[in-house]
Amino acid sequence: MSLLGQDIPMERPDADGRAALLVPVDGIKEDVLMTIRKGAAIVGFANHDRTVTIYFESNRFDDPVLAKWEHKARKAYDRLVDNAPTVSKLTTSPANFEQIGYINGKGITIRRMDSLKRWLAYSDALASCPENEIVPRTVIPKADAVKV
């Protein structure tokens, strides 16, 4: 049984369009979990063939700019909207994920905070969880833009 809402966005959103925020369900296949990595922010959309395309950001290289979950979500969303080439992309069964909210050009809306907290607690990343269900878009400074 899929835990995706009936209002999951269909097809890739354009700039400022809406994408789904997702977390893995309990009992997700181990190979999928190893691909996305614990603590990842996952965004995606539904396809007409009843699969979902997801983009994810797990901060694999420990970039301090991506320490917060919402910054990871923004990075994954920007990649999705731009259709950027990446290995952090997967087309899979919707049964692997639960939709917890939405992300667009203006911000993040979390409708199932308990599910997000479950995922982040499982990932030992609960400290990166947003404090509120509504997270306005913030600009993430680029590392090379910071002057010493």
The pLDDT value recorded for residue 16 is 84
- For residue range 89-116, list pLDDT tens digits in order: 999 999 999 999 999 999 999 999 999 9
Q: Which amino acid is at 83?
A: N
Please indicate, yes or no, whether the overall pTM of this predicted structure exceeds 0.85: yes
Confidence of residue 147 (pLDDT cuts 50, 70, 90): low
pLDDT of 148 > 80? The answer is no
pLDDT of 139 > 70? The answer is no
The pLDDT value recorded for residue 4 is 66
Calculate mean pLDDT across residues 66-70: 96
